[in-house]
Structure 1
Amino acid sequence: MRNKFRGTHYLAMKDFTAEEIRYLVELAADLKRKWTMREPHEYLKGKTYGMIFEKKSTRTRNSFHAAATALGAQSIYLRPDEMQLSRGEPIKDTARIIDRYFDGLYIRTFGQEIVEEFAKYMKNPVINALTALEHPCQGLADLLTIKEKMGDWKGVKVCYAGDVYNVCHSLMIGSAMVGMDIYVAAPKAYKPAPEILECAQKHAAANGSRVIVTEDFDEALRNADVVYGNTWHSMGENEEQKEKRIHDFMPYQINAQAMAKARKNAIFMHCLPGYRGEDMTDEVIEGAQSVVWDQGENRMHTVKAVLVATSL
């Protein structure tokens, strides 16, 4: 299997070229085909990976565990509250020891600087399982799902409505890399990080596509091939912050009326968890246009691709 990534950390989509991201999606599609056909693909037999999750997780943690197992590897969950990190041990000390025990580390944490520091002190691959800045494994799953459903990326318009941080950031960059137009619809006070917007717009300019941030939900929905939702509030926010976000984002709810403004054959995507009656309605997520369960499955296949690419 041809490889471009051996020994590379996977911390953010912005760190890679469009060609490299396309390669990872192609690899994920091949691994998915093998999994579907029940063809052996235990490329990582004998390897062991550590997982550190400082935030709750359903899809990210379990997709990694399932992916590693399917590839013949083991994954071990390292509880943050049981590690010396929780007592103030420097990341660089923890990282250098983990590097001796494991063949790689999958980490969900808060600041991007944390995964970057782990990567600085580890030779084995560090994979970002979500930070405030990016969710690069989700970004790959999104690209794979759109390619499967649309047949191609070129000319596809994505309408994104929801929290404008990590998932949105990775989707913006990934969309621009493969030539899709992406419209991010959000209230005026909620904007993507400037460095992410700049990166996405550079890729868009190189690929003849557009990255638009707008308050106009109707503009974003018009002729959209993909309508993508995300939760409006994040883990750790207090009740007052949560209520404010629900109030601010309610005009951007993805419901039947919103879907009717997109193309007739548009698909509905959501990184999950989704909150029915808030960011989307039950009618939409359970409807014929919803592909969220296929999208969720693709998390496993794209994580496989990252593991194989960085480890072999």
Structure 2
Amino acid sequence: MKHLLGIQHCTASDLERMIELGEAAKRDRGSAHSAHAKLLDNQVWGLIFSKASTRTRVSFEVGVREMGGTSLYLSARDMQLGRGEPIEDTARVLGRMVHGAIIRTFEQSDVETFAKYSGIPTINALTDEEHPCQIIADLLTVRERFGTWEGRKIVYLGDGDNNMSRSWMWAAERLGFELVIAAPEMCMPSKEYQQQFSSGHVTFTGDVESAVADASVLYTDVWVSMGQEDMEDNGREAALQAFQVNHEMVKKAADDAIVLHCLPAYRGKEITAELLEERQQEIFTQAENRLHAQKGVMQYLVRG
């Protein structure tokens, strides 16, 4: 039984294989003879979502359908989970009725518990801890543009302690590319968390100038993650202003640098409106690649 619970749980070969399958899915989309066209025939996959979604929901629903299966959307408020049923019981029930589960929720432990008790392939479609599906699409995008991530410097700017930054850290640790987390001190992960990345592939800095110098990828995300909108600011947004992705920052990066954003974007905050529009081809290709990456993930979990 294979699951995608987080990049931390993956090996380098797991990641490579899912990306390769995603690339093939993109190349072969629409072909009745593709390796995945009928893979989910007569299968129903449950999408269990406690958080709002655009790209994740659409990409998985379309992906399941294009692979011959049917998706069943289940929001938490429509299920007994919303009334306090233990995740273990929900998992045991759904594991007898559907063939796979795609879960977008708050607690990482909920996804891991579901996988343990359901007996079906389980995909983390976002938790507060990690967003592995986005990272696989991002790595697919980087390789599509440069041919490899080896020898490329990827810089993550903004909130250095959210699900996206943590997933990037684990990806760099597993695959061995250079990742720089550039963030104000108040937005950095704890020292204990940072100490898990001792290989030298991941560095943490508050120096924007050195971070973006010669970077191949400038990557950013919203400054306030979903579910944290009521968090007190305490000077956080003011500190993050220096890490906004803008034209001046791009000038300091490598000549062929790309700009990526996992969306949704708040123009004028983590990225300027002008730069987002200028680089929209890169950013929306990245968004499209969610569909192909999800197909690669499902194919890997079902077939290997």
TM-score (norm 2): 0.93
Aligned pair partner of 2:131 in 132, 135, 156: 135
Q: Residue 75 in 1 paired to residue 71 in 2?
A: yes
Partner residue in 2 for 1:167: 164
* 1:98 has 2:89 as partner: no
Matched length: 300
User: Please, which moves more after superposition, 26-35 or 187-196?
Assistant: 187-196
Quote the residue 1:192 is aligned against.
189
Partner AA of 1:176 in structure 2:
E
Q: How far apart, CA to CA, are the structure 1 residues paired with 2:22 and 2:5? A: 18
- Asked if structure 2 preserves the Cα contact closer than 8 Å seen for 1:169 and 1:196, the reply is no
Please say if residues 61 and 71 of structure 2, whose CA atoms lie closer than 8 Å, have aligned partners that are also in contact: yes
Task: Give, in angstroms, the shift of residue 102 of structure 1.
Answer: 0.5
Change (3 A) 1:239 1:166: closer
Please give the residue correspondences for 1:87-126 in structure 2 after superposition, counting only pairs within 5 Å: 87-126=83-122
Specify the alignment match of 1:3 in structure 2. none
Letter in 2 for 1:35: R
The 3 A distance-change label for structure 1 pair 51 and 240 is closer
Q: 1:196 to 1:74 in 2, by over 3 A?
A: farther
Cα root mean square deviation, aligned: 1.9
Deviation at 1:248, TM superposition (A): 2.4
5+ long unaligned stretches in structure 2? none
Which deviates the most, 242-251 or 42-51?
Answer: 242-251
The one-letter amino acid of 1:68's match is: V
d(CA) in 2 for partners of 1:248 and 1:27?
A: 40
Distance 1:195 1:39, change over 3 A: farther
Question: 1:30 is matched with which residue: 13, 24, 28?
Answer: 24
Take 1:150 and 1:221, find their aligned partners in 2: how far apart are those partners?
Answer: 18
Instruction: Kindly indicate whether residue 194 of structure 2 is the aligned counterpart of residue 215 of structure 1.
Output: no
Kindly indicate whether the alpha-carbon contact (under 8 Å) linking 2:150 and 2:177 is maintained by their aligned counterparts in 1.
Answer: yes
Structure 1, unaligned stretches of length 5 or more?
Answer: 1-6
Equivalent pair of 2:47/2:103 in contact (CA under 8 Å):
yes
Q: Give the whole-Å Cα distance in 1 for the aligned partners of 2:173 and 2:274.
A: 30
Instruction: Detail structure 1 runs of 4+ shifted over 6 Å in the superposition.
Output: none
Measured at CA, do residues 170 and 98 of structure 1 come closer, stay the same or move farther in structure 2, by a change above 3 Å?
Answer: same
Alignment of 1:309 onto 2:300? yes
Q: Deviations over 1:176-209 (max 9, x none)?
A: 333321100111011236676444x35xx3xxx6
Q: Which residue of 2 aligns with 1:291?
A: 282
Tell me the residue number matched to 1:58: 54
Query: Does the 8 Å CA contact 2:159/2:188 hold for their aligned counterparts?
Result: no
1:263 and 2:257 are equivalent in the alignment: no
Percent identity of paired positions between Structure 1 and Structure 2:
39
Secondary structure in structure 1 of the residue aligned to 2:29: helix
CA distance in 1, matches of 2:121, 2:191: 28
